[in-house]
Amino acid sequence: MDLTYTAADLAFRDTVRAFLDANLPSDLQKKVRNHLRLSRQDYVRWHQIVARQGWSAPAWPVEYGGTGWTPTQRHIWEEECARSGTPPILPFGVNMVAPVIMAFGNEAQKAHYLPRILNCDDWWCQGYSEPGSGSDLASLKTTAERAGDHYIVNGQKTWTTLAQHADMIFCLVRTDSTVRKQEGISFLLIDMKTPGITVRPIIMLDEDHEVNEVFFDNVKVPVQNLIGQENKGWTYAKYLLGHERTGITAVGRSKRELLFLKKIAAEHYKHGKPLMQDPVFSAKIASLEIDLMALETTVLRVITRESHAPGPEASMLKVRGSEIQQQLTELMVEVLGPGALPFDTDYLEGKADHAVTGDDAAAPLAGYYFNYRKTSIYGGSNEIQKNIITQMILGL
C-alpha cells in the first residue's frame, strides 16, 4: 500500500491547519500543551467550536452529520488537532454510544440523541465496569427489572470517567439472570438526573477527580431508553469496545509529546551537557521514536482497510499505543529527576499563571506520569488485549 499523502491530502491538511490557527483559543491550547487540567467548560467549548464547523464527528456517515472524509483525511485531522494542542473531543458520545445508536437504535433514538451528541448538548459517560466485573465484564450484576413501561435499575458502576459532569450514562444491565451470563445483558441509556443516582468521586494517584463510582437505587428508566432488543446488549457492548480501543492509540498526541520530551531533554543538563546529547538517553528517545513510527504505519494500514467496525486489530493498536504513551511519561520524569516531584495544584488548575517552583514544564509531569498508568488498564487491560490477539488474530 502507498502511505505517502496525495496532493489533495496535503491541501486538506492546509485547510485543517488554517481552521485550527484561526479557531483554537490560545488559553485552551496553553492548557493542553502544558499538561494542565481541563474543566468541563473547556471540553464543551472546544467541541462546540468544532461542531459549528461541522467537523465534530468525522467518522459518522454524512446523513447523521459526519464529514464524508476519507480515513486518511480523518487521520490528518486527528494528527493536526494533536499537533496544535486541542482539547480532545471526548469519546463517550461521539465514538462510543453514537455508533451503537446508529447501528442498533430505533429512529426516535437516532433523531433525539445523535444531533445532541454532535453538538455536545449532552455529556455522556460509560457505565460498563462494576466492582468485580472489569475484565470479566459479562459477570456484571447491576439489574434492570421491567415494571410496566419502565425498568427499575439497582446496582453500582465504577471507574466511570468524568461522570461528575455527565448528563447521560450508557449502561450495561442484567435483565435476565437465568441464562448464560452474556445472554442476559441489555444496553440502557439513563438520564443522570434521575432520582436514585449517586455519583461518588474516586481520587486518582495524581490527586485528580477523573473517575467515579455511580450508584443506582431503584432508578426508574423508561423502556424507550433500551437500545435494540432486551438481552442482546452484549453484542452491542462488544461493537462499542472496538471503537473505544482504536481511539486509545493516540498516535498524534504521542508525536506531540515526543517533541515535548525532546525539548525538555535539550533544556535540562546532566554532567554539564543537555540530556539530549547523552548517548544513552538519546538512544532511548530514538528507540521510542522508531516504535511510534511503526505504530503510526500500523494505524494507517488498519484505517485504510477499515470499513466501519474495527476488528480485533484494535487490540494491537491499544496495547502498543498505551505502552508508548506510558514510556513517554517515564522518560519525561527521567529527564527532570527530583525536579518533577513538586506538586502544584493551583498551577495545574489554572489558578496560578506559573508553577511555584518556577519550572512550568516540570510541575505537571509527575502527575501526568502517575495518571498515565491508567492507559494499560482502561478500555480493557493490556493482558486481556493480548488474550484477544492470541485467540482472534493468531488463532492460538
Ligand X SMILES: Cc1cc2nc3c(=O)[nH]c(=O)nc-3n(C[C@H](O)[C@H](O)[C@H](O)COP(=O)(O)OP(=O)(O)OC[C@H]3O[C@@H](n4cnc5c(N)ncnc54)[C@H](O)[C@@H]3O)c2cc1C
Chain residues that interact with ligand X, rule: CB under 6 A: 125-129, 134-135, 159-161, 211, 374, 377-378, 380-381, 383-384, 387
DSSP-derived secondary structure letter, 6: P
Closer CB to ligand X, 300 or 377, in the complex? 377
Smallest gap from residue 300 Cβ to ligand X (A):
27
Compare residues 357 and 381 and give the one whose CB is closer to ligand X. Answer: 381
CB of 292 to ligand X, least distance (A): 22
Question: What per-residue string of b and e applies to 103-131 under the rule 16 or more CB within 10 Å gives b?
Answer: ebbeeebeeebbeebbbbebbbbbbbbbe
- In the bound state with ligand X, the residue whose beta carbon lies nearer, of 206 and 257, is 206
Cβ–Cβ < 8 Å for 124, 43: no
Looking at residue 166, its amino acid is A
Round to the nearest angstrom and report the end-to-end CA distance of the chain. 28
Shortest separation between residue 81's beta carbon and ligand X, angstroms:
22
| Cα maximum dimension of the chain | 75
Q: Give the separation between CA 14 and CA 12, rounded to whole angstroms.
A: 5
- Which amino acid, 351? K
Q: How far is the CB of 271 from ligand X (least distance, A)?
A: 38
Which CB, 326 or 357, lies closer to ligand X? 326
Beta strand spans in 10-60 (E): none
Cα atoms in the 13 Å half-sphere on the side-chain side of 348 = 16
Bridge pairing between strands 226-227 and 185-191: antiparallel
Residue 75, C-alpha cell as written in the block: 487521520
Of the candidates 147, 140, 199, which has an alpha carbon nearest to the alpha carbon of residue 173?
Answer: 140
Task: Estimate to the nearest angstrom the gap between the alpha carbon of 203 and the chain centroid.
Answer: 19
CB of 276 to ligand X, least distance (A): 32
Q: Is 267 a catalytic residue?
A: no
Measured torsion, CA atoms of residues 66, 68, 69, 71, in degrees rounded to the nearest 10: 90
Calpha distance 282→265 (Å, rounded): 9
Cβ-closest position to ligand X: 134
Compare residues 53 and 135 and give the one whose CB is closer to ligand X. 135
* C-beta of 60 vs 372, nearer to ligand X: 372
**Active-site choice (244, 257, 296, 313):** 244
Shortest Cβ distance from residue 373 to ligand X (Å)? 8
Q: Which residues are annotated as catalytic?
A: 244
